[in-house]
């Protein structure tokens, strides 16, 4: 049994405890240093195990409930869940079972349950790998699934859940004139299905590309920045859209309220050799006049679950109302910063119409000088049926199913009359 493998599993169990027990996001766990003591390869393994367990949680629980008289303490339950997922993904039973028994056995609170862990996981090892692929695709929790079914229908949600269970490949945006690894997608991004370590990929050190989901790269393409234009990127971190704007030759101001998150923007600008004016500040207090504005508003992030399966477990939808109000305020303020004749792209990585289509419908009613630019949505790779009634673009995880899906996004380009 590898000590490194056990350390990665122990860290994964800790993060599962935080997500499922404390309602923390995986990103919050990582920012708090949950994996800092591990070597890079073990950090990657712990993170992968956490994500795989969250994606397969429903299946793991169904396998385990056949062998448990009652639900054990969360840490023990998460050790069993992680072990079940690994066993059903083909890991050697000896290593997985011994590792989980060791982890639980060393716990002062739960050490007495190591025999239970051993017995249950050996039963899962015997029957789980055959049963796993026959089980239904794990479903979203009801607090999220129900409103999404109301918006898109059961068939669409089933397709989204399938995409989310499969996880997300790695998408890159390549700097103009450079090249990047992977297959070129219809919208121009490149995609790798087995990327490995990002920093080891060709072109990373030279700054030829940056990691950005294909859907997240579309808002800037719809904005269509021009060299020399004064453009504001509101809520800019971690900076993928800022890099796109800078690569187009625009005079970019990248604004975000979080100085910590802006550190990523600075790092990416330095690596790629691109330039932008990076500002830490409140989007609702920022002043100035701009030729174009990109507002990627704070949202539920429900469109990113294929990459962030912790979201539906760490959240419960209680923040939706506050987010929707904030989005409306940000859109109204951003509109006041736009020069006459300018254009604004509003987008959210949400699957909820209240954070996308409805926001734009209401903004169009409130601003007589605002119009939705349908023609701007006519870019490479965009299907006409993705364009919504009010003139925005609705992207969903079940689109491009044969290519590996995409994040859920809503995007609208709004023009200001001259």
Contact 138, 55 (CB under 8 A): yes
Q: Summarize the chain as % helix, strand, coil (round to 5).
A: 50, 15, 35
Q: What is the DSSP letter of 193?
A: S
Whether the upstream peptide bond of residue 284 has omega within 30° of 0, thus cis, is no
Candidate list 29, 88, 235, 349, residue with the active-site label:
349
Token pair in block for residue 3? 């000590």
Let me know if 348 is exposed, middle or buried by CB neighbors in 10 A (0-12, 13-18, 19+).
Answer: buried
Stretch (H or E) spanning 22: helix 3-22
Q: How far is CA 373 from CA 117, 306, 377, 393, in A?
A: 59, 30, 7, 11
Indicate if 349 belongs to the active site.
Answer: yes
Kindly give, in sequence order, each residue whose CB lies less than 8 Å from that of residue 83, ignoring residues fewer than 6 positions away. Answer: 96, 97, 99, 100, 117, 121, 124
Neighbours of 50 (CB within 10 A): 29
**Residue 42 DSSP SS3:** helix
Count each helix (H run) and each strand (E run) in the chain, helices first.
15, 12
Rounded to whole angstroms, the Cα distance separating 77 from 166 reads 23
Contact 401, 159 (CB under 8 A): yes
Stretch (H or E) spanning 347: strand 338-348
Q: What is the DSSP letter of 387?
A: B
Dihedral angle computed from the Cα positions of residues 237, 238, 242 and 244, in that order, rounded to the nearest 10 degrees: -150
Rounded to whole angstroms, the Cα distance separating 370 from 344 reads 10
Give residue 313's Cα distance to chain centre.
Answer: 14
Stretch (H or E) spanning 94: helix 93-105
**For the packed helices 320-336 and 357-366, what is the interaxial angle rounded to 10 degrees?**
40
Catalytic residue numbers, as ranges: 349
């Amino acid at each position: 049994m590898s000590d490194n493998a056990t350390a990665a599993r122990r860290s994964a169990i800790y993060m599962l405890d935080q997500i499922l027990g404390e309602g923390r996001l995986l990103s919050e766990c990582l920012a708090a240093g949950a994996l800092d003591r591990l070597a890079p390869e073990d950090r990657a393994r712990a993170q992968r195990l956490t994500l795989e367990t969250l994606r397969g949680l429903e299946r793991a629980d169904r396998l385990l409930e056949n062998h448990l008289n009652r639900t054990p303490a969360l840490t023990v339950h998460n050790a069993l869940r992680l072990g079940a997922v690994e066993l059903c993904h083909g890991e050697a039973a000896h290593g997985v079972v011994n590792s989980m028994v060791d982890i639980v056995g060393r716990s002062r609170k739960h050490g007495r349950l190591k025999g239970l862990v051993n017995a249950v996981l050996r039963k899962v090892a015997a029957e789980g790998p055959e049963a796993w692929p026959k089980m239904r695709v794990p479903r979203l929790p009801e607090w999220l699934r129900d409103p999404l079914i109301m918006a898109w229908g059961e068939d669409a949600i089933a397709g989204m859940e399938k995409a989310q269970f499969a996880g997300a490949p790695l998408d890159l945006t390549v700097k103009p004139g450079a090249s990047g690894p992977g297959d070129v997608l219809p919208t121009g991004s490149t995609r790798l299905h087995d990327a490995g370590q990002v920093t080891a990929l060709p072109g990373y050190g030279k700054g030829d590309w940056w990691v950005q989901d294909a859907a997240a790269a579309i808002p800037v393409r719809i904005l269509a920045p021009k060299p020399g234009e004064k453009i504001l990127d509101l809520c800019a971190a971690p900076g993928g859209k800022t890099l796109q704007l800078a690569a187009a030759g625009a005079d970019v101001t990248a604004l975000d309220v979080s100085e910590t998150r802006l550190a990523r923007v600075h790092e990416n600008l330095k690596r790629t050799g691109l330039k932008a004016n990076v500002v830490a500040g409140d989007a609702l207090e920022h002043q100035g006049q701009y030729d174009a504005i990109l507002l990627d508003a704070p949202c539920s992030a429900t469109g990113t679950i294929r990459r962030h399966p912790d979201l539906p477990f760490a959240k419960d939808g209680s923040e939706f109302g506050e987010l929707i109000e904030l989005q409306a305020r940000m859109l109204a303020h951003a509109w006041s910063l736009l020069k006459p004749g300018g254009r604004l792209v509003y987008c959210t990585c949400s699957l909820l119409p209240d954070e996308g289509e409805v926001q734009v419908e209401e903004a169009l009613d409130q601003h007589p000088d605002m119009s939705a630019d349908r023609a701007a949505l006519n870019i490479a790779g965009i299907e006409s049926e993705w364009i919504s009634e009010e003139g925005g673009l609705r992207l969903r995880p079940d689109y491009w199913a044969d290519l590996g899906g995409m994040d859920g996004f809503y995007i609208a380009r709004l023009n200001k009359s001259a």
